[in-house]
Structure 1
Amino acid sequence: MDERHETLLTFEYDSAARATTVEASLRPEIGDIEGDRTRASLARDGADLRLRIAAADLVALRAGQNTWLSLTAVAERCAAAGSDRTTANDR
């Protein structure tokens, strides 16, 4: 694949633990949902999570962005729900 276009998304979380949880949710998808026209990579530095999406063309880049933003939103909601459940159990 000729990667001519790319996007770097940085997600900043309130803690490294939250970033780690979201990363763990997304990591298995790296490589599994890529096609012939897109690639993604994931890196975490403390509470920051970086997602790089590279694509052969702008249509594929937009599709990749939509996919990864949706997956990230689900991972964040699950992490928040798990955190809320833990907090409720601690009371």
Structure 2
Amino acid sequence: MNSDSGRDDNNEKNHMNDTDQSDTSAVSSNDNMSDTNSSPTANKTSDSVTHQRHTLELTWHYSDVQHAQIVSSAINQEVGEINDTRSHAQVETDDTTVTVSITATDLIALRAGANTWARFVAVAEQVRNSVDNTLSDAD
């Protein structure tokens, strides 16, 4: 509860995954008016995706920069590869934080995008952990 406004600030959810030491949070917004923040900024979008009204930002916090860069590099290859005129995603990395911003024309496409990108990150983390375990077993 935000004491300044008297409203409940439940837009943001934080989850901690003990196996990969990552902190994941999501923020979603819906704006029925034209909002420049919900328009994709990447060059890989088509004109039909430029008037999106639903946005979701998924954020993962890692313990070190290298872990964040590995995950970001793995999932960044998928940006623009999914042929969907209803949604678009953008990946950004800032030190130990990886953020996936998803914009969509409807909530179904937004949910599908969230599931897809969360799965991409989970797979990238699993592969990284598997490689780390293999390397530590070889020592």
TM-score (norm. length: structure 1): 0.93
The structure that has the greater radius of gyration is 2
- Structure 1, gaps ≥5 residues long: none
Distance 1:83 1:18 in 2: 11
Which residue number corresponds to residue 54 of structure 1?
103
Cα deviation 1:56-85 (Å, max 9, x = unaligned): 010100010011111111011001111122
- Mapped pair 1:13 → 2:62: yes
Q: Which segments of 5 or more consecutive residues in structure 2 lack a partner in the other structure?
A: 1-48
Gap change, CA 1:34 and 1:43, over 3 Å in 2: farther
* Structure 2 Cα separation of the partners of residues 62 and 87 of structure 1: 37
Cα distance, 1:34 vs structure 2: 4.4
Higher helix fraction (1 or 2): 1
Identity %: 32
How many pairs align?
Answer: 90
Residue of 68, 72, 82 corresponding to 2:131? 82
- Name the CA distance, whole Å, in 2 between partners of 1:83 and 1:13: 15
**Which SS does the other structure have where 2:120 is aligned?**
helix
The runs of at least 4 aligned residues of structure 1 exceeding 6 Å deviation read none
User: Shift of residue 30 of structure 1?
Assistant: 0.3
The aligned residue for residue 6 of structure 2 is none
Question: Residue 39 of structure 2 aligns with which residue?
Answer: none
* TM-score of the pair, normalised by structure 2: 0.62
Give the direction of change, closer, same or farther, for the CA distance of 1:65–1:16 in structure 2 (3 Å limit): same
